[in-house]
Structure 1
């Protein structure tokens, strides 16, 4: 293959790059923002899609964030690619903060007091493996997180909607102006030729 790497990266190297970028977080953020800005859709559709992905990444449904973001984006009329890109809000660096805050907010809504995540309770609920447990064993842990994810997810989605909407609108407007300024000299030359003829 023409652009294939000479030395195939190991699984550990792939995992390291997924969590910690090769060059810098700033370069990765610039690349990611350009991917979002260059989508071909209306600013509203891109922003709604990204907000749907951000909302889905706040929920405790690990492994289903893409599917959930696609469903939400379809319902609200958002861009599906932007929804997939919006799920990057939930990543290995932000998940501990998201889970702790959704649990705290959910327990405050359900029980009237903000409970901290108790590690002994988590060990009790998850002892023996996550997949071997029944839903009623996991419900005391997941229920506050799910309830807390709704208000925090709505706040996160609203924040990213406005951020992405105004960024995409400004980018698309600037791009249209650049393209029209390139076409203008050609149109002026053609008009000059018509006048000469």
Structure 2
């Protein structure tokens, strides 16, 4: 096979590669950026899609981020592929910060208190019983309420950053292609 590995990857290498890319997180970020910039949709559609993915990353519903991002992107005429790529903002490195910020803001909005003034969560007990009702009030509800304004803020920021980057990328590409000398076409006669 043409693109097959020379030696089969060990189980440990596969697990490590899932959590820590072989080449680096910076290379993965560059790859995702180039994938977004090379989408052929209108700048608004790509930027709205990325913004929808960023917004979905701030909600605590893991496993549903792609679906949420697509549902948010559709009414804004956002690109669905860009919305899926935008969910990469929520990753194992950023999730602890996102969750802490959304939980703190949600508790502040709902209860008017900072997280230090509230009773500690018994997360282990609620997870061992897998009772969503026990998780909703102390954890998921504040994270959702805090995630909406934070997600909206970062979605707006990413919308304008993505749109500006996409317009600049396409303008540079247009100038570069215009500067290339054209080969004369051969006539068949």
Q: TM-score, normalised by structure 2?
A: 0.88
Which has the higher mean CA deviation after the structures are superposed, 95-104 or 110-119? 110-119
Equivalents in 2 of 1:55, 1:15: separation in Å? 28
CA deviations 1:95-136 (Å, max 9, x no partner) are: 1111111110000000001215976521232223xxx32x32
Q: Which residue of 1 aligns with 2:172?
A: 174
Q: Establish whether residue 125 from structure 1 lines up as the match of residue 121 from structure 2.
A: no
Counterpart in the other structure of 1:193: none
Which one has a larger percent helix, Structure 1 or Structure 2? Answer: 1
1:87 paired to 2:84 = no
Structure 1: gaps of 5 or more residues: 191-197
- In structure 2, the residue matched to 1:165 is 163
CA RMSD, Structure 1 to Structure 2 (Å): 2.0
| CA distance in structure 2 between the aligned counterparts of 1:48 and 1:124, rounded to whole angstroms | 40
Compared with structure 1, are the counterparts of its residues 54 and 105 closer, same or farther at alpha carbon in structure 2 (3 Å cutoff)? same
- The aligned counterpart of 1:9 is 9
SS at 1:93's partner residue?
A: coil
Tell me how far apart the structure 1 counterparts of residues 95 and 120 of structure 2 sit (CA, whole Å): 16
**d(CA) in 2 for partners of 1:15 and 1:74?**
35
If you compute each CA radius of gyration, which structure gives the higher value, 1 or 2?
1
Change beyond 3 A, Cα 1:46–1:118: farther
> Counterpart in 2 of 1:28?
28
Q: Which residue of 1 aligns with 2:143?
A: 145
Alignment deviations for residues 148-171 of structure 1 (CA, whole Å, 9 cap, x no partner): 010010011011111111111100
Gaps (5+ residues) in structure 2?
A: none
How many residues in Structure 1 have an aligned counterpart in Structure 2?
183
Measured in 2, the distance between the counterparts of 1:44 and 1:86 equals: 14
